[in-house]
Structure 1
Amino acid sequence: MARPLRADIDLDALCHNYRLARDLAPDSQSLAVLKADAYGHGLVPCARALEGVAPAFAVACLEEAETLRDAGITAPIVLLEGIFSTDELAKVEALGLGTVVHSDWQVEALLAHRPATPVPTWIKVDSGMHRLGFSLERAASVWARLSAAPTRVCDLHLMSHFATADHVDPAYFQHQMRVMRDLAEMLEAPVCLANSPATLAWPESHGAWNRPGVMLYGSDPLEASNASSRRLLPVMTLRSELIAVRDLDEGEPVGYGGRWRAPRPSRIGVVACGYGDGYDRHAIDGTPILVAGRRTALAGKVSMDMLTVDLTELPEADIGSEVVLWGRAASGEVLTVDEVARHCETISYTLLTGVLPRVPRRYHGG
């Protein structure tokens, strides 16, 4: 009998979340962001589920795009970080990809390349994230140079990334929005600005294209949820079972270092899941977990292959009972990955992308 831990992936929920992003911006098209193995959910299965629903995909690098093409995905694909060396342009052309340019050497490489068909190109502008992109002063000249080379590039768009679109305080988002609006109006350029939080909360950022990412996988990226983000459905359920149950006297410790001590006579369950599977070792005592469809809590430090939960208030729980680390239990009860992340002092992105390959993915729907 196999170890009971698995990640159930609900492809119907994935498509629901994409349609929500699309419907929130009816005048935009939306790139489905599939980087980092579709945020840990499986690059190819998620792309296959979304092909025909989403008009185009976005990935971080050429290797991810090659994987999709090798799997028979024919939809347009955009390289969000562009090329990493000039020799990648031949593959960009061969695979029919679009590319972001964020540095002068990438622009020079594009202009020196002689493609059989022009390459769809997105000019990355640093509007305040200060990570990738041309300064506002340089962006106009890059736009002019590429616009004058229609045999090299086509479908030019401006792209930028918001640093604080998830925050309640709108000040910095509004600053970035203002400078990008001014630049786009000056150049009469279509834009791609909205990430997941901007898609959900800032309609004024919706452009010719948007880039929903983590919201596709059911995670709410907003500092304060809104009516739209509450419609997201969890895509991954990290699911296991109890493999042992034991009774402890008051004061008895559990786990490495004895961090948790029984505050009363207690019943403890052992779950087949640990940091060797990607569950965060920084999870604190009290991190919520669903057992037999009911909420309980982590009790003690996470081990490599196991963790322990307090079953004192769950007399019905026993060996073989369902355990949901995040996602939807068989009872219908939902524990969001965002709530678990807060107890680990991290974000949902790290938990979802951190589920390791030894955890089998099981796909449903789509």
Structure 2
Amino acid sequence: MSLKHESEKTLSRPIHALLNSDALRHNLQRVREIMPTSKIWAVVKANAYGHGLVMVNSALIQADGLALLDLAEASILREQGWVKPILLLEGLFSQEDVFTAIDLGCDCVVHHLDQVDWLENLAEAKQSSKPMAMRVFMKMNTGMNRLGFEPEVYREVFHRLHSAGYQVAHMTHFANADYVDKQPSVDMQLEVFSQAIEGLPGETSLSNSAAILWHHHIVQSDWIRPGIMLYGASPSGKYEDIEHAKLKPVMSLRTQIIAIQHLEAGDAVGYGARYQTDVPIRIAVIACGYADGYPRHAPDGTPVWVSGKQGLESGQICPIAGQVSMDMITIDVTDMPHADIGTVVEMWGDYLPVDRVAQAAGTIGYELLCAVAPRVKRSIVD
């Protein structure tokens, strides 16, 4: 196993995020196995869900394209050597973006009329009868009620873009696919979509991670858009919902114990004296806090994985005891007398699924992964 650092300009504190590129490749392959006839837009928005774009070019090379939001991120990927398609999931934000997107060879989602106007203006200015190089994915609002054209105007907008010379594909986004028991909602959105595009040429893009995992038997499309599942976390926020998929965590957030405190009955620990013990306990202070991206609101009892005598694999869960502070967290290690300064702990990752931590903290794995702060050193495991 070899490591390479994404950035050397980091603090010397022991906290670091290990990023397993083999796990990312494995998860992409699992997507292929679940939906083998579809092409894959691997979603790398939000800096690859907090993992960083450095390993994307190699670990996701078997994807058919990458999907993201920001032209700056698209530029980074091109500079790193990515030559396959890139899709801008929120499309263009100004007329000027059109030219940058073309220079970078990006395809774009179109979801409102201003974007249609910009693309038509470009087509009119282009003095050639050749089709436009940029592909567009028209987004339909089938019930999510965020982005997209209403079904009753969809065909009219399609013909405008098609007449302007664009290769037009069709897209929608499911509102409830991440709720395993809400198939009727998925069915209804799929019916609206299918009726609205009936007879229109063009490829389709439908499934996000949730639809891939739980609704692939009813939802088929030319392109799929896996996001959170590529990183080994659950769209529903419940780890047990993805155990069947045999995904692997890509990020393991690890740090060390930096101090030990012995509390007597009646003692409190941390800001606000939130945690007070009625028996003698042993407290470990670990180098991780909300400035590293860990949720400040994590309650007492939120799990942390502490190494055993033979290393992390022989470890066990110890609960948070006391308020998460900027740079430190206190945990109860009374049942692990060997734990001492320098003992490695895992906040989430190989031994403690990020979704279990998120559930205990009242959030979702997406947020924890995306929130890891820039000051946390990231090391890629080859």
1:312 counterpart residue number: 334
Is 1:70–2:79 an aligned residue pair?
A: yes
2:222 to 191, 208, 212: 208
**Equivalent in the alignment of 1:359:** 376
Q: Which moved more, 1:318-327 or 1:227-236?
A: 227-236
Structure 2: gaps (5+ residues): 1-10, 308-314
**Does the 8 Å CA contact 1:61/1:83 hold for their aligned counterparts?**
no
Q: Distance in 2 between matches of 1:110 and 1:228?
A: 44
Counterpart residue type for residue 159 of structure 1: M
Alignment match of 1:106 (pick from 106, 115, 139): 115
Matches of 1:169 and 1:73, distance apart in 2: 37
How many residues align? The count is 356
Find 2:197's aligned residue among 161, 184, 197. Answer: 184
The answer on whether the counterparts of 1:199 and 1:212 sit within 8 Å (CA) in structure 2 is: yes
Checking the alignment, whether the CA contact within 8 Å between 1:220 and 1:229 is kept in structure 2 is no
Distance 1:243 1:36 in 2: 31
Deviation of 1:273 (Å): 0.3
In the alignment, which residue of structure 1 is the partner of 2:258? 243
Match of 1:6 among 7, 16, 22: 16
Separation in structure 2 between the aligned mates of residue 80 and residue 209 of structure 1, nearest angstrom: 13
Counterpart check, 1:288 vs 2:288: no
Q: Deviations over 1:273-319 (max 9, x none)?
A: 00010000010000010011211110101010000000011111111
Distance in 2, matches of 1:149 and 1:258, equals 66
1:65 and 1:359 map into 2 onto residues whose CA distance is 23
Given candidates 48, 54, 79, the residue that maps to 1:44 is: 54
TM-score (norm: length of structure 1): 0.93
**Shift of residue 228, structure 1, vs aligned partner:** 6.3
1:34 aligns with 2:44: yes
CA offset at residue 206 of structure 1? Answer: 2.7
Matched residues in 1 for 2:333 and 2:225: separation? 42
Correspondences of 1:249-328 after superposition (within 5 Å): 249-292=264-307, 293-328=315-350
Unaligned runs of 5+ in 1: 329-333
Seen in structure 2, the aligned counterparts of structure 1 residues 227 and 97 have a Cα distance that, compared at 3 Å, is closer
The root-mean-square deviation of aligned C-alpha atoms, in Å, is: 1.6
Determine what percentage of the aligned residue pairs are the same residue: 43
TM-score (norm 2): 0.90
DSSP 3-state at the match of 1:113: helix
2:182: which partner in 1? 169
State whether residues 25 and 60 of structure 2, in contact with CA within 8 Å, keep that contact through their aligned partners in structure 1: yes
Closer/same/farther in 2, CA of residues 240 and 228 from structure 1, 3 Å limit: closer
Q: 2:361 aligns with which of 333, 344, 347?
A: 344
- Contact 1:62/1:83, CA 8 A, preserved across alignment: no
Q: Which moved more, 1:157-166 or 1:40-49?
A: 40-49
Change (3 A) 1:223 1:172: farther
Amino acid aligned to 1:212: P
| Partner Cα separation in structure 2 for residue 28 and residue 345 of structure 1 | 34
What is the CA distance between 1:184 and its match in structure 2?
A: 3.2
How big is the shift at 1:170? 2.2
1:357 and 1:85 mapped to 2: Cα distance?
Answer: 29
Aligned to 1:145: 160
* Residue 95 of structure 1 pairs with residue 110 of structure 2: no
Deviations 1:2-61 (A, max 9, x none): 31100000011011111111211111111000000000000232233212x111000112
AA aligned to 2:215 is W
Post-superposition offset of 1:169: 2.4
